[in-house]
Amino acid sequence: MSDKPKGDQPASDRKWKYIGTRPIRHDGLDKVTGRAQFGADYALPGMLWGKVLRSPHAHARIRGIDVSAALALDGVKAVITGRDFPDVASEAAEGGEGANDFGDLAMNVIAREKALYHGHAVAAVAATTAKIAEEACKRIVVDYEVLKPVLSLDAALAANAPILHESARATGHEPLPKGPSNVASRREMGRGDIAKGFSDADVVVEREFRTPMVHQGYIEPHAVLARTGQDGRSVVWCCTQGAFMVRAYSAKVLGLSTDMIKVIPTEIGGGFGGKTTVYGEPLAILLSRKAGRPVKFVMSREEVFRASGPTSGTHIRVKMGATRDGKLTAAEAVLYYEAGAFKGSPVGAAMMTVFAPYKLANVRIEGWDVVLNKPKVAAYRAPGAPMAALVVETVMDELAEKLGLDPIDLRLENAVHEGVQATYGPKFRAIGFVETLRAAKSHPHYKAPLGVNQGRGVACGFWFNAGMSSSANVSINEDGSAVVVTGNPDIGGSRASLALMAAEELGIPVENVRPVVADTEAIGYTDLTGGSRVTFATGMAVIEAARDVVRQLRARAAQIWSVELDAVAWEDGRALLLSEAPGVHEPLSLAQLAGRAAQTGGPLVGRAALNARGAGPGFATHLCDVEVDRETGAVTVLRYTAVQDAGKAIHPSYVEGQYQGGVAQGIGWALNEEYIFDENGAMENAGFLDYRMPVASDLPMIDTVIVEVPNPMHPYGVRGVGETPIVPPLAAVANAVQRAARVKLSELPISPPRLLEAIDRAV
Amino acid sequence: MKIHVHTRVNGEATEFLCAPDRSLLEILRDELQLTGTKEGCSTGDCGACSVMLDGRLVCSCLVLAPEVEGRSIETIEGVAKGDQIHVLQRKFLEHAALQCGICTPGFIIAAKALLERNPDPSEEETRYWLAGNLCRCTGYDKIIHAVLDAAADLRGETR
Amino acid sequence: MARVFFSSGLRRLVGGAESVEIDARDVRELLRALDAKYPGFASRIGDANAIAIDGEIIPHGEALLERLRPDSEVHFLPQIGGG
């Protein structure tokens, strides 16, 4: 006997059965035994190996390419160059989120008139062995007219700078350069009266930082296997953050309709945004079409660094003013972001996030998107935000010191909350920023004593989190177990969270729910994994699909009991007759109803397809303790605590994992990582030895605190958590180093030589 | 001219033909279809290709395939015995010490090598031993917890 | 009447106004009304942006049929990508 169906109680009131537990992930056994198949783990009979010939020049006109010697080599089955691809008009690319242009994408996949960065793909070969393919590449003759490369923001903006795209013109808000330039766009944003705001301030702090180009650093290189049938239809296995994105982008680049390509997403060894676009996929597809055999193309680590999509190097100035008691009166930021060889850096998001955590009536933000001869940048976890937060949070730290205020108190004084109009415009709905600040302040870490040459940094971060489109099917098997089918590659344990949500709705153990990541022909359109959207938006679809099945299950029970639908409730995996209803019937379990599915109307399949609205922003407050060695400039991270609002943690272990992973990337970005280019624009450290990412001995345990201020727009209160964690660490580390070494920094990474220079300057 | 190599992989007699400049990693993955061992860099910097060669932890990308003639290799595929997974594998699952999972085979091989030498490593010893294995997803926290917990379990203790 | 807010970079398109009230049932109508009131607005703003309606940020192309409430607040924003 039961009351009305549960429906949507406020998430904070609900008693959870499975949500918030930590089951073993369904794909876990395969991953710890080496059975799980990642992008490079697939092979087909008759398979050819693909290799790419890349430009040795950072900036060059391609006058001609002679592939005849390559074609003549025994074992070579196909050779392609830019000539084999259609011209693609400039058009905003959808499905990958944000600023992408198909025309640029097509030119990035393979060069046309110009090679625009060292490593830019110029030709590709498919041959019976990798060695023959490599040899064939060496035999391709490219006639380059070498041009002077542009390798820094300053050089790109200088008068008489070499121009990458002669026919392009700057867009955005005036004043804009007239005529050819390397400015892709310039935008302004703001409100109030900046001049008055600064004059009302008792203290004004201005800081400037340069940050380098850095890479997402996923351990799995890009890999694709493409097979084209007699009918011209291609099947593609690849490690990607979005199978539908690969299909759409490859179709666009190749001039095919999307129904000619089926994409099967493999397990993926990291992405962080770097696998939200295509590189080798269109090449492998075209090679397989020409050769009539499957083609496998796996990037080397060097190629990943040189020719995939790192994130922007930047030059950022921030100025903020505050009254004596810590009230911010004005804030101004000028942000220059490297787009790489084609327009489209994340400067727009940077402009929106830079002051987002703070209440400001007077604010002015200016953002420049600048092209230069480096790889086209791609998304990297909260794209644009970490660099902007670096400068704002160092300014806040300096303001706190000058005002004699506790750094957390200064932020509490100005923290945004529900109802406040964000600096980028709209009003915030329910958010948990203040809660993270308070949790950080009361954490034992904040009171822990510090020794000589040690310092503590505080920093905060924000990311919007996305909604977007997701489809989901929930099918009930004859034995009462369930299959949840969605279209999002699992990069961080999302399958487990989706299974938990289905288990919660169905009322069956999560071990009886099988989550499946489907290909583009087995599930409805689904936007890619990224933007911290899967647990939120695909979760929403799974919940809706599960509720669809529950409605059907109730209807079956109603039929069996000859009662009305609303006389039947669903609780703990069983159909129950409501107390007011006539007759007495024993509850029917999901397994029992599943066993009688054919008798009561047919298979039990729930579906949902939605464009999720109501994504809730995620805020974080981080604490970082470091010790500085004043002789060597080495920095040791002693202790780190990451506090972040998750709305509702579906699987807490994987929420913690997101916090810890983002922190580790941020620490690497702050202390060691950078692209080092030589004077010709070739990356000098294109390997893991010299592109130094954190290893286990570099880091302490990373403590996490999950704050839960439910997102009222999600049935369970979920907020995305994947990206916010990387936003504060750059500043948390920088602030800690500045306090530990009594220096003022202006450049990342804070590598030993730079720190020693800063120490010498300060002395 | 290809070389005929005889070796043992996960206890089984195995043979293959290879050109002299192929790496053990390439042979494991492409010739023997043992794709559990991963390629992350092919320059010995990431540890994703970790295997045991005659009981010694090595990067298989740095071993020339002909070098394994007459020797014995253990890969991730040989760690579980039938349907009995190794305590390290169990602890990795329990501690959620993997997110994307690409580095996991390398870590398990490396951690197993550690515990065979040092059944009671400190956190610091564990971190330094595993410094040759890159992980970009987890920040290493849960991996270290899993290894230390597995070590305790093998010693008959709880952590 | 939906209220449309203009950040500083866009104000020169609307005669310097910080916000404008527009009678429109959906975003498509809103854009037409803005273009009628400020000729050239639609082509200057283009479609490479996002539109926030009562706090919900939606890519331009997806936003056109969004219905507006009588007291809706609308902002034009740069495109954002996630990673």
Q: Among the listed ranges A246-250, A256-260, C40-44, which one has the minimum average pLDDT value?
A: C40-44
Q: Is the pLDDT at A99 greater than 70, yes or no?
A: no
Q: Among the listed ranges A17-21, A281-285, A464-468, A658-662, which one has the minimum average pLDDT value?
A: A464-468
- Inter-chain CB proximity C9 and A99 less than 8 Å: no
Percent of chain A with pLDDT over 70: 97
Q: Is the pLDDT at A7 greater than 50, yes or no?
A: no
Give residue A414's pLDDT: 98
Give residue A641's pLDDT: 98
CB nearest A99 (choices: C9, C62, C81): C81
Give residue A4's pLDDT: 34
Tokens of A576: 């129950």
d(CA B68, CA B66): 5
Nearest chain A residue (CA) to B34: A34
Contacts of A694 in chain B (CB under 8 A): 139-140
CB nearest B100 (choices: A28, A269, A694): A269
Cβ–Cβ contact C25 with A under 8 A: no
Start-end of H helices in A170-328 = 194-199, 243-254, 281-291, 301-307
CB nearest B93 (choices: A24, A687, A699): A24
Q: Is the pLDDT at C30 greater than 50, yes or no?
A: yes
Closest C-alpha among B73, B45, B77, B78 to residue B59: B45
- Give tens-digit pLDDT for C5-23: 998 889 989 999 999 999 9
Q: Are A41 and A30 in contact (CB under 8 A)?
A: no
- Inter-chain CB proximity A701 and B141 less than 8 Å: yes
Burial class (CB in 10 A: 0-12, 13-18, 19+), A37: middle
CB nearest C8 (choices: A190, A346, A367): A190
Determine which of B140, B142, B147 to mutate to test the interface with A (most A C-beta atoms within 10 Å): B140
Banded pLDDT at C1 (limits 50, 70, 90)? confident
Give residue A3's pLDDT: 35
CB nearest C78 (choices: A187, A364, A466): A187
Closest C-alpha among A572, A601, A604 to residue A478: A604
- Inter-chain CB proximity C18 and A274 less than 8 Å: no
Give residue B159's pLDDT: 79
Banded pLDDT at A580 (limits 50, 70, 90)? confident
Q: Is the pLDDT at A13 greater than 80, yes or no?
A: no
Banded pLDDT at A528 (limits 50, 70, 90)? very high
Contacting chains of A (3 CB pairs or more, <8 Å) are: B, C
Give residue A11's pLDDT: 57
The two beta strands, A618-628 and A605-612, are unpaired
Cβ–Cβ contact B96 with A under 8 A: yes
- Inter-chain CB proximity B35 and A37 less than 8 Å: yes
Give residue A2's pLDDT: 34
Residues 6+ apart with CB under 8 A from A627: A451, A453, A454, A635, A636, A638, A740
Contacts of A364 in chain C (CB under 8 A): 8
Four-point Cα dihedral C23, C24, C29, C33, nearest 10 = 10
User: Which contacts (CB < 8 Å, 24+ apart) does range A173-179 have?
Assistant: A173/C9, A173/C10, A173/C12, A174/C12
- Give tens-digit pLDDT for A226-257: 999 999 999 999 999 999 999 999 999 999 99
Banded pLDDT at C80 (limits 50, 70, 90)? confident
- Stretch 319-348 of chain A: residues touching chain C, C-beta under 8 Å: 346-348
Nearest chain A residue (CA) to C72: A426
The Cα of B77 is separated from the nearest Cα of chain A by a number of Å equal to 6
- What's the whole-number mean pLDDT along residues A367-395? 98
- Give tens-digit pLDDT for A542-551: 999 999 999 9
Nearest chain A residue (CA) to B31: A43
The Cα of A689 is separated from the nearest Cα of chain B by a number of Å equal to 6
Segments of chain B with pLDDT less than 70: none
As a three-state string, the secondary structure of A492-543 is CCHHHHHHHHHHHHHCCCHHHEEEEECCCCCCCCCCCCCCCCHHHHHHHHHH
- Inter-chain CB proximity A32 and B133 less than 8 Å: no
- What's the whole-number mean pLDDT along residues A81-95? 85
Banded pLDDT at A91 (limits 50, 70, 90)? confident
Banded pLDDT at A100 (limits 50, 70, 90)? confident
Q: Looking up tokens 């740095």, which residue turns up? A: B62
- Give tens-digit pLDDT for A185-200: 999 999 999 999 999 9
- Give tens-digit pLDDT for A712-738: 999 999 999 999 999 999 999 999 999
The answer to whether the predicted template modeling score (pTM) of the entire model surpasses 0.80 is yes
Q: ω into residue A175 within 30 of 0, thus cis? A: yes
Banded pLDDT at A94 (limits 50, 70, 90)? low
Cβ–Cβ contact A386 with C under 8 A: no
Cβ–Cβ contact A98 with C under 8 A: yes
d(CA B86, CA A97): 42
Nearest chain A residue (CA) to C47: A92
Give residue A1's pLDDT: 33
- What's the whole-number mean pLDDT along residues A389-405? 98
Contacts of A346 in chain C (CB under 8 A): 80-81
Q: Is the pLDDT at A10 greater than 70, yes or no?
A: no
